[in-house]
Structure 1
Amino acid sequence: MSNQRNTHGMRAVILPLLVATCLVACEDSVEGQAAPPPQEVGVVHLKTQPVPVVATLPGRTRAYKVSQVRPQITGIIQERLFEEGAQVDAGQVLYTIDAAPYEAAHASASASLARAEATRDSAAVLAKRYAGLAKIEAVSQQENDDAQVALKEAEAAVAEARAAVTSARINLDYTHIEAPIAGKVATSEFTPGALVTRDQASPLTTVRQLDPIYVDITQPSRDLLELRRRFSAAADPDQRTVDVVLHLEDGSVYDHAGRLSFRGVAVEESTGTVKLRAIFPNPDQVLLPGMYVKAVLEQAVDDEGLLVPQQSITRDARGQASALVVKADNTVERRDVVTERAVRNHWVVTSGLSAGDRVIVDGLQRARPGPTVNPVRVDVEQTAMAVE
């Protein structure tokens, strides 16, 4: 019995000691885990800078020059001297018209001119003789006057006959129908053997100059007014040379930049838009008239623009954009932001952030609002390459 009492007594002393020891060990373990080192995150320091204000507008391509080829005389087409869709030069013969009747008319006019010149020469000799005889009163003054009038009439007949020869020569030249401009020739609407008439409504074919090429753009007048209000202190955008970048129907970017060459001076009442026209080089003739394109043009410069790296902006299920910002005490804060558009690998942010903010761009998966972090300044370009 005495041994059992001793055993129970020892248990009563040892057990509390073991419990106390375990509690102390647990507290030490908890205290060691409660203060881990702050997570390291990469941040960029935002600053304002000049940012181009661009607009993406719909447009249609238009040929730089368009010429509808029509006959200027009546006749039968003898030959078509071009390949449809080929490049032709200005002055290149496209069609020939039966020239026989016009050759005959030219020959007749030439003969009439020769006859008129012979009559004039005879009248000139007679007028000279009568002028001399009138001085010695060998002929009457009336006879002399008649001879001088006959000479003038003969000279007028020569001029008339010469004009008829010129007209006949022009009509004969019109039997060769030439391309008025250089460019791509369309399909031929008439074949050899067809009768064509002067000033007919239907063109024989059409020639379009495609290099350079126009792009007609429409801009809502309200956007133009907003632009002027936003940058009222800046230079008049109408006086600036504006570069234009073109996005094609398949989404690709056209290789050559263009420039704005015309801005409309009136608003179209039916659509409420202003017409713009840009001109683009088109050496490979990738652009064809009538293509739908999107034109991206710089309209002004925002001197206080705020660019934020795209990898720092996240969106929730509703599409709300947000960024994680490191505050002055190195704690993390989530801010809702408004993005206007992309500029290369940055977003233009118009609300939610300001110059001087430290935005997390690296380590977003480790950061969350509330805890303290160790912000490290990083190079945006290197970070973007790492993300890619």
Structure 2
Amino acid sequence: MRALKIVIPLLLLSACGGEAEQPAPQPLPVETVTIDGQAIPNVIELPGRVTAVRKSEVRARVTGILEQQLLEDGSYVREGQPLFRIDPRELRASLAQTQASLQRAQATAANARAVVERYRPLVEENAISRQEFDAAVATSRAADADVAQIRAQVQAASLQLGYTTVRAPISGRAGRAQVTEGALVSATEATLLTTIEQIDQVYVVFSNSAQDVLSVRRSLADGSLVLAEGGRVPVTLTMSDGSDYPIPGTIDFLDQSVNEATGTVELRARFANPEGILLPGQFVRVRVEAGRYADGIAVPQVAVTMTETGGTVFVIDEEGMAQVRQIKLGAMFDGNWIVESGLQEGDRVITNNIQKLRAGMPVSVASSTPAPASGTAAPAAVQAN
């Protein structure tokens, strides 16, 4: 028993001594980039919709039966080209009737002028009264007025007859016909026959938040944001299948008012469309490079972890520990995220072993490089606002 009393305390002391001697965790080797201010592009990506530069609705201007369709649906038409023909017989008869009325009025006017000429010497010789001469002059003037009125009616009837041949108001691509031959079209209801759109040049309409527009203007005013030479704002498009549209465009309109319902400002860019790839109504992604920030911050994409609340990175604190830092992401360019807030110059951002890291874990820097330069980098992708 005495021996057991001596052995048990020794075993307990031995066990306690073993726990105290556990080795500290080894620092995880990592690679880092050191944040440094640099020139970065101010790239904005927004959804946009393609619209035609010019669009014309071809409507009936006279009432009648559609006699013939002269165009092929979807074909290219020239300005002034006949598209439809409306039965002209009723209007042709109306024109003939009005022309006959004009001839009768002209004959009446000619007779009235002849009476005036016969009365003129007689009134000077007092062979007739002045009152009779004045009445003849008034009758002649009334007859001339009737001629002018009916001549105008002839012109109107001739125009109406001309409207029975419906012509293209502009050159462009015609849509499908909205009526069929034999249908009754109405001038009163302005029956839609077809539409014509010019798509060799197209507009892309998109909207940006009023807050972002104000931020860009302030940055331009204080010099932190600098536009390209000549004040150009390049615009490129990404199609719905992810491919890039090969021809860049330019912004040609910026609305000067804010949409009260959405809080956005409308912008419009113009693009050449020689191959007809862009179609009216099509949705695209618009990339706008609105200058460059002279002192921006960017980090490699591999260093950023996306969460429900945004992006995070691991930085090394003064004690050599890894710490999680919440950051606000902007656009992405050339494999780098633009950081709007959350990092500052001098921070060391970890770029590898991200899955093994935990907050407060000791790390050792295997290699460190400056943040990637972007002075000549072209934007490759951007984050939607």
2:222 counterpart SS class:
coil
Q: 1:246, CA displacement in angstroms? A: 1.1
Unaligned 5+ runs, structure 1: 1-40, 325-331, 362-367
1:204 counterpart SS class:
strand
Which residue in 2 is equivalent to 1:267?
258
Q: Tell me the TM-score normalized by structure 1.
A: 0.71
Q: 1:376, CA displacement in angstroms? A: 10
1:184 to 170, 173, 178: 173
Which residue in 1 is equivalent to 2:158?
169
User: Which residue identity lines up with residue 116 of structure 1 in the other structure?
Assistant: A
Q: 1:341, CA displacement in angstroms? A: 2.8
Distance in 1 between the 2:47 and 2:200 partners? Answer: 21
Which residue in 2 is equivalent to 1:219?
208
Distance in 2 between the 1:149 and 1:293 partners? Answer: 72
Distance in 1 between the 2:161 and 2:107 partners? Answer: 25
Distance in 2 between the 1:243 and 1:371 partners? Answer: 40
Which residue in 1 is equivalent to 2:80?
91
Relative distance call for 1:230 and 1:100 in structure 2 (3 A) is: same
User: Which residue identity lines up with residue 278 of structure 2 in the other structure?
Assistant: L
Distance in 2 between the 1:333 and 1:95 partners? Answer: 80
Which residue in 2 is equivalent to 1:147?
136
Q: How does 1:5-20 map to 2 (within 5 A)?
A: none
Contact 1:67 1:208 survives alignment (8 Å): yes
User: Which residue identity lines up with residue 147 of structure 1 in the other structure?
Assistant: A
1:102 to 88, 91, 94: 91
1:344 to 334, 339, 342: 334
Q: 1:279, CA displacement in angstroms? A: 1.7
Write the deviation string for residues 263-300 of structure 1: whole angstroms up to 9, x where unpaired: 22222222222222222111111111211111111334
Contact 1:264 1:275 survives alignment (8 Å): yes
Q: Tell me whether 1:55 sits opposite 2:81 in the alignment.
A: no
Which residue in 2 is equivalent to 1:288?
279
Contact 1:109 1:164 survives alignment (8 Å): yes
User: Which residue identity lines up with residue 250 of structure 2 in the other structure?
Assistant: R
Relative distance call for 1:321 and 1:360 in structure 2 (3 A) is: closer
Contact 1:67 1:180 survives alignment (8 Å): yes
Q: Tell me whether 1:134 sits opposite 2:123 in the alignment.
A: yes
Write the deviation string for residues 220-268 of structure 1: whole angstroms up to 9, x where unpaired: 222223334444424999x955321111111111111122122222222
Relative distance call for 1:259 and 1:305 in structure 2 (3 A) is: same
Distance in 1 between the 2:314 and 2:57 partners? Answer: 58
RMSD: 3.9
Contact 1:70 1:200 survives alignment (8 Å): no
2:258 counterpart SS class:
strand
Which residue in 1 is equivalent to 2:194?
205
Contact 1:335 1:352 survives alignment (8 Å): no
Distance in 2 between the 1:229 and 1:152 partners? Answer: 72
Relative distance call for 1:189 and 1:287 in structure 2 (3 A) is: same
Contact 1:49 1:306 survives alignment (8 Å): yes
Contact 1:69 1:203 survives alignment (8 Å): yes
Which residue in 2 is equivalent to 1:69?
58
Which residue in 1 is equivalent to 2:110?
121
Q: Tell me whether 1:305 sits opposite 2:291 in the alignment.
A: no
Q: 1:201, CA displacement in angstroms? A: 5.3
1:248 to 239, 248, 252: 239
Which residue in 2 is equivalent to 1:23?
none
Relative distance call for 1:233 and 1:342 in structure 2 (3 A) is: same
Distance in 1 between the 2:306 and 2:203 partners? Answer: 42
Distance in 2 between the 1:109 and 1:145 partners? Answer: 30
1:198 counterpart SS class:
coil
Which residue in 1 is equivalent to 2:355?
none
Contact 1:336 1:352 survives alignment (8 Å): no
Contact 2:45 2:287 survives alignment (8 Å): yes
1:72 counterpart SS class:
coil
Q: 1:166, CA displacement in angstroms? A: 0.2
Distance in 2 between the 1:243 and 1:169 partners? Answer: 52
User: Which residue identity lines up with residue 252 of structure 1 in the other structure?
Assistant: S
Q: How does 1:321-332 map to 2 (within 5 A)?
A: 321=313
Distance in 2 between the 1:181 and 1:79 partners? Answer: 20
Unaligned 5+ runs, structure 2: 1-30, 352-361, 378-385
Q: How many residues align?
A: 328
Contact 1:70 1:199 survives alignment (8 Å): no
2:256 counterpart SS class:
strand
User: Which residue identity lines up with residue 282 of structure 2 in the other structure?
Assistant: M
Give the percent of matched residue pairs that are identical in Structure 1 and Structure 2.
Answer: 35
Which is higher, the Rg of structure 1 or of structure 2?
1
Q: 1:352, CA displacement in angstroms? A: 4.4
Write the deviation string for residues 159-206 of structure 1: whole angstroms up to 9, x where unpaired: 012101101100110100112222221111211111111132541112
User: Which residue identity lines up with residue 245 of structure 1 in the other structure?
Assistant: T
Relative distance call for 1:236 and 1:164 in structure 2 (3 A) is: farther
Distance in 2 between the 1:321 and 1:372 partners? Answer: 18
